[in-house]
């Protein structure tokens, strides 16, 4: 089944062109394109998409403002930012607002489609540029309380950061899927998050993953 996506970009030709390209494959179905982020809440209710794709720099409402405004929306899906902005500040702002991934507009179509499918499935694999930006942004922040992950927790979270599912992780490490879930739950508690994407993001920011 295709991943259902709503795209919002103030440049209509961008969202329409991307929709045409994504709809040419089997993995993603664009169910709506919008040029005004203020129309997103109604579109989410009407279409119930699996993923929201938003630009970052828009005149009526920025992408991070849009994502933050949808936190209490009953049908808010995972949000992915697709933007030409490559600054560490823009990337960090998107993740702080609640984005699960950030992709540059010049990324290959296959990469964009994979990010959307991963987001719908609750996983996230960050590009080297995004990983570097998150790490750089963290270096310039005031240090928070130290977080310590066990070697097994780091190992599992590192595999998750590469896009592996729980089943793939358990096969890779020759442990049960229940054990993987237990370790991930411990990671969530230590990192003060509630999902895989947030755990990976925070772990990247705090340089807690294995190379």
State the fold for domain 3-124.
Rossmann fold (3.40.50)
Domain with CATH 3.40.50.2300 in the chain: 3-124
For domain 142-205, the question of CATH label 2.60.40.3950 is answered with no
- Side-chain half-sphere exposure of 3, counting CA atoms within 13 A: 25
Average pLDDT, the chain: 89
Sorting pLDDT into bands at 50, 70 and 90, what band is 89? confident
pLDDT of residue 41: 95
CA 52 – CA 4 distance, rounded (Å):
9
Domain with CATH 1.10.10.10 in the chain: 142-205
pLDDT in tens, 13-34: 999 999 999 999 999 999 999 9
pLDDT in tens, 31-81: 999 999 999 999 999 999 999 999 999 998 999 999 999 988 999 999 999
Mean pLDDT across 146-168: 89
Order of strands, sheet of 3-8, starting from the edge strand that comes earlier in the sequence: 28-34, 3-8, 51-54, 79-83, 101-104
């Amino acid at each position: 089944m295709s991943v259902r996506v709503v795209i919002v970009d103030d440049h209509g030709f961008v969202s329409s062109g991307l929709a045409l390209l994504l709809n040419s494959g089997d993995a993603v179905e664009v169910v709506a394109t919008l040029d005004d982020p203020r129309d997103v809440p109604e579109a989410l209710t009407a279409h119930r998409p699996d993923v929201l794709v938003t630009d970052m720099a828009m005149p009526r409402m920025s992408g991070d403002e849009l994502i933050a405004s949808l936190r209490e929306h009953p049908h808010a899906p995972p949000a992915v930012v697709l933007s030409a902005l490559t600054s560490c500040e823009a990337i960090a702002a998107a993740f702080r607002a609640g984005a699960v991934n950030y992709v540059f507009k010049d990324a290959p179509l296959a990469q964009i489609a994979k990010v959307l499918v991963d987001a719908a499935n609750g996983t996230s694999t960050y590009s080297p540029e995004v990983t570097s930006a998150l790490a750089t942004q963290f270096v310039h922040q005031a240090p928070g309380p130290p977080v310590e992950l066990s070697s097994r927790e780091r190992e599992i979270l590192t595999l998750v950061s590469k896009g592996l599912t729980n089943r793939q992780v358990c096969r890779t490490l020759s442990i049960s899927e229940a054990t993987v879930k237990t370790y991930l739950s411990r990671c969530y508690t230590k990192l003060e998050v509630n999902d895989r994407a947030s755990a990976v993001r925070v772990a990247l920011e705090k340089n807690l993953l294995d190379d």
